[in-house]
């Protein structure tokens, strides 16, 4: 089947939207949070839990990491990433651009592409835009991302402009390769270009115009949540959403806290991913509808109440705060698993609630109440 996108409902008081994407691997109801499964796994979480407890419609894989390990040949011979990891729902792959950005001291950027050293063994590799597309087609992601350069924050205007222009030239090469090579498996893949431009309004507008003109299935906003203040993130997001076409999904990459998600939904964003629920969870931070818990704190030592009475996953009404604190105090891996499942469940629940409130016409009132609570330190 050809993937489809439908804008189902628009909020009257904000720019929030409820949309539906249909693909060969099922429906994605937006707003949606996509758990990050960098190396073919969402750390510490079974696929069964992702599907049945967390209720994820789509997860992420990472091109750079999967290319290095297990390697593309192993994934291809398995029949693609869905079969390799036994996940029948949707998958999006990041192109590897951000990982290359994070390898700053180990990479060299040229017009042709990026040469980098493996973080594993120091071996040299080269990614061109064409190579990034070929690898993602071999992985078999439903949504394939453009290969871009993510400028650091802060960076001066000329660097941000040159970086954006390079991203645009690379985009043309990505689109040509994507359109002129067949899908490897028996389903259609989608392609999303990425808006860049740092925190400069005119560059973001230029990039959003350029990306919009390409008429791809969906569009992404990159280069945010790299250290800039939240107000700047929201400003860039707002500027770009006002330009990107309404009849295509909008994906804000690498964002963020629960509050960041709700504020960006109100600006017109549909899709999010972030390592925060799992990474922070592994360090003892729990996100709940009443605020943030640091489960390592002594105050939870004798608290035998459930993790989260409002929680939606099985762990929330199975384990106590005291027990989870104990697991972290003895460095037991089960503690990190429980916290990860809880946090991912909360993020996905927050998105489904946002969708419900958009459809009911009560999003702004609900969002403002939630934002006040979500920032509480319990």
Residues acting as catalytic residues: 94, 273
* Cα–Cα distance list, 18 to 193, 198, 288, 340 (Å): 21, 28, 23, 26
- Residues whose CB is less than 8 angstroms from the CB of residue 95 and which lie 6 or more positions away in sequence, other chains included: 63, 132, 136, 144, 145, 146, 147, 148
d(CA 174, CA 183) in angstroms, rounded, equals 14
- Length of the chain counted residue by residue: 378
Q: Count CB atoms within 10 A of the CB of residue 291.
A: 15
- Residues whose CB is less than 8 angstroms from the CB of residue 119 and which lie 6 or more positions away in sequence, other chains included: 103, 106
d(CA 134, CA 59) in angstroms, rounded, equals 20
- Residues whose CB is less than 8 angstroms from the CB of residue 142 and which lie 6 or more positions away in sequence, other chains included: 3, 23, 24, 25, 58, 90, 91, 92, 187, 189, 190
Please, what's the b/e burial string for 233-251 (b: 16 or more CB within 10 A of its CB; e: otherwise)? Answer: bbbbbbbbbebbeeebbbb
Enumerate the H helices of 127-270 as residue ranges. Answer: 129-139, 157-179, 201-213, 230-241, 258-265
Beta strands of the chain (E only): which ranges?
4-10, 17-23, 26-30, 32-34, 58-62, 90-94, 107-109, 114-117, 124-127, 143-145, 190-192, 194-195, 219-221, 250-252, 271-273, 285-288, 291-294
């Amino acid at each position: 089947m050809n993937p489809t996108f439908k804008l189902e409902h628009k909020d009257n008081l904000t720019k929030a939207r409820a949309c539906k994407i249909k693909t060969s691997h099922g429906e994605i109801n937006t707003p949606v949070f996509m758990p990050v499964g960098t190396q073919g796994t969402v750390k510490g979480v079974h696929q069964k839990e992702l599907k049945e407890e967390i209720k994820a419609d789509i997860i992420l894989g990472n091109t750079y990491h999967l290319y290095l390990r297990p390697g593309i040949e192993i994934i291809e011979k398995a029949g693609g990433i869905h079969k390799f990891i036994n996940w029948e729902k949707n998958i999006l792959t990041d192109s590897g651009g951000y990982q290359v950005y994070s390898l700053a001291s180990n990479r060299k950027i040229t017009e042709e592409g990026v040469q980098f050293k493996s973080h594993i063994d120091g071996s040299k590799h080269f990614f061109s835009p064409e190579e990034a597309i070929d690898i993602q087609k071999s992985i078999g992601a439903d949504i394939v991302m453009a290969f871009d350069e993510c400028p650091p924050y802060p960076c001066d205007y000329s660097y941000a402009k040159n970086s954006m222009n390079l991203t645009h030239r690379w985009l043309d090469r990505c689109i040509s390769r994507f359109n002129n090579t067949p899908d490897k498996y028996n389903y259609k893949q989608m392609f999303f270009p990425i808006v860049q431009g740092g925190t400069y309004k005119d560059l973001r507008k230029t990039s959003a115009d350029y990306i919009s003109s390409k008429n791809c299935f969906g569009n992404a906003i990159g280069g945010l949540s790299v250290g800039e203040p939240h107000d700047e993130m929201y400003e860039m997001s707002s500027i770009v959403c006002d330009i990107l076409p309404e009849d295509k999904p909008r994906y804000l990459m690498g964002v963020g806290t629960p509050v960041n998600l709700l504020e960006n939904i109100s600006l017109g964003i549909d899709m999010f991913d972030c390592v925060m629920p799992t990474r922070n969870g592994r360090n003892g931070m729990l996100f709940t509808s009443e605020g943030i818990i640091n489960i390592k704190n002594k105050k939870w030592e004798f608290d035998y109440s459930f993790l989260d009475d409002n929680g939606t996953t099985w762990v929330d009404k199975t384990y106590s705060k005291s027990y989870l604190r104990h697991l972290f105090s003895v460095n037991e891996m089960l503690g990190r698993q429980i916290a990860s499942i809880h946090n991912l469940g909360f993020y996905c629940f927050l998105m489904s609630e946002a969708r419900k409130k958009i459809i009911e016409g009560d999003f702004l009132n609900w969002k403002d109440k939630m934002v006040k609570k979500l920032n509480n330190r319990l």
